[in-house]
Amino acid sequence: MNSAYLPTERSTRQDFMQVHRSVMLAVGETMVMIAPASIASAIDATDFMVDAGGAESNVASHVAALGLEARWFSHVGDDAFGHYVVRQLAERGVDVSTVVFD
């Protein structure tokens, strides 16, 4: 890394990233969230929405959305929910190559 880089008025994020390439690594759990699709109570609901989230994976997703490199590491179940979580994060641009299925 070139520690002598000083931004100028014309510097862009790409200029900075060429000099300071780094990866944000998030380590932690992510949950599958199941919630009623409408404001009806969960007891009366017949339609539900499903999503994946958790502090670490949310941060990784937002970092990736900014165009920076983000990686998420965790262990997930080798089941439908585990594969759903990994697929959701990958679709958001997060590197999930270090995830362990168990």
Residue spans of the domains in the chain: they are 21-101
For residues 10 and 28, the model is more confident at: 28
| Contact between 99 and 84 (Cβ < 8 Å) | no
Q: 21-101, which class in CATH?
A: alpha beta
| Contact between 61 and 92 (Cβ < 8 Å) | yes
pLDDT digits (tens, 9 = 90+) for 59-85: 999 999 998 899 999 999 999 999 999
* pTM, full prediction: 0.74
pLDDT digits (tens, 9 = 90+) for 24-39: 999 999 999 988 888 7
Rounded distance between C-alpha atoms, residue 23 and residue 33, angstroms: 27
